Copies of this chain bind each other. A is one copy, B any other.
Amino acid sequence: MGVSIKQIAEIAGVSRGTVDRALNDRPGIKPEVKKHVLEIADSLGYRSNRAGKLLGLHKAPMSIGIQMPSEGNDFFEAITAGQRQAGSELGDFGLRLYWRTMKGFSARRQAQQIDELIEEGVQAIALVPIDHQIIHEKLAELARKNIPVITFNTDIADSDRICYVGNDYLKSGATAAGLLGRLADGREWRVLVLTGSVSMLGHNQRIHGFHSTIKEHYSNIKVVDIFETEDDDDKAYQICREFLSPAAAAGGRSVELPADAIYLTAGGTAGCCKAVIEAGLAGVIKIISFDRTPSMEQYLADRVITASIEQEPYLQGYLPVKMLFDYLLDNTRPPACSWTRNEIVISENMNQSARFTEK
């Protein structure tokens, strides 16, 4: 169909091997020959053929490394499923995936696992970067070594990653506010904010985006308090229990609610739900949360959680692998940011797409 290496070789009066050297920046070719070949390729509008490349991979198969803080964190299950799917689809083309996972957010541990991946010989890395000097330096080192990096779920400023795949946390906060504003429908509502940690950028952005939107459009909504759950269900349960105790003590009698809604920016949702149910306030106090873990499923189905905003975790696993593969294969450049959607999930639309999980 298109132009092939063979044709370029004929026209340039060199061998296919030399054309290959020129096109793929391989060593051992005279600069002027390279220039000549590239000019011809250019004038012919040469684009390498994927089928040929794919089959040509047979020796020197590709390997990609993945590093993430997924241990003990249910949220990463869907991400892992996406990575596995990409690995299996591309396995036919020889791709090998190497995982390094950790519990919690240690920059030193992350740096160490990145080193391990390099030693395994991976040609590219996808990771959830920790915002720490050590990691900044490590990413600079990867850039020097010509190992392309894609960040997912969380981005890191001023690094040389070729792409970020994940949420825009400001917009996800705005989405939560937009939803809550529509629910309040002009009524004066007071909102309790439960965040994961005030030192997590993403969590803060979800608060910030929320604030901006209510400030601009929903002056009837007020934030009454902010607490940290440390992404922990027990902690969230304790906080909510205490917060709700006046209303709970009142039993059936009507007292003013301590809040009309609870907005959770991160983990701890199931604990919060438990406390709300125990206080007899399920469905009365609206709960807006993010993501979806197994422990949240039932609360979503039962409408204890009014809505949860998901961020396409499966794609956050799938896309980085796919993009790195394409990049290594024929230099296909992904966009600098591939935003995942903020999906508003309620009980009625929570179980629909078997597409991603069934295969």
B348 and A174: CB pair below 8 A?
A: yes
A271 to B61, alpha carbons, bound, how many Å? 57
A339 and B353: CB pair below 8 A?
A: yes
A358 to B341, alpha carbons, bound, how many Å? 15
Q: Is A119 an interface residue (CB 8 A)?
A: no
Task: Collect the chain B residues with CB atoms within 8 Å of residue A179's CB.
Answer: 346, 348
The residue on B at minimum CB distance from A346 is: B178
* Minimum Cβ distance to chain B for residue A215 (Å): 13
Tally chain A residues at the interface, Cβ within 8 Å.
46
Q: Which of the listed residues A182, A217, A346, A354 has the most CB atoms from chain B within 10 Å of its own CB?
A: A182
The number of times this chain is found in the oligomer is 2
- In A304-359, the 8 Å CB interface with B consists of 306-307, 335, 337-344, 346-349, 352-355, 358
Q: Is A247 an interface residue (CB 8 A)?
A: no
Task: Collect the chain B residues with CB atoms within 8 Å of residue A93's CB.
Answer: 50-51
Q: Which of the listed residues A50, A58, A335 has the most CB atoms from chain B within 10 Å of its own CB?
A: A50
Q: Is A185 an interface residue (CB 8 A)?
A: yes
Task: Collect the chain B residues with CB atoms within 8 Å of residue A349's CB.
Answer: 171, 174-175, 178, 341-344
Which A positions have Cβ atoms within 8 angstroms of B?
A: 1, 49-52, 54-55, 57-58, 61, 92-94, 168, 171, 174-175, 177-179, 182-183, 185, 213, 217, 303, 306-307, 335, 337-344, 346-349, 352-355, 358
| Those 9 A-B pairs whose CB atoms lie nearest each other, nearest first | A178-B348, A51-B54, A344-B344, A175-B349, A50-B92, A51-B55, A342-B349, A174-B348, A175-B348
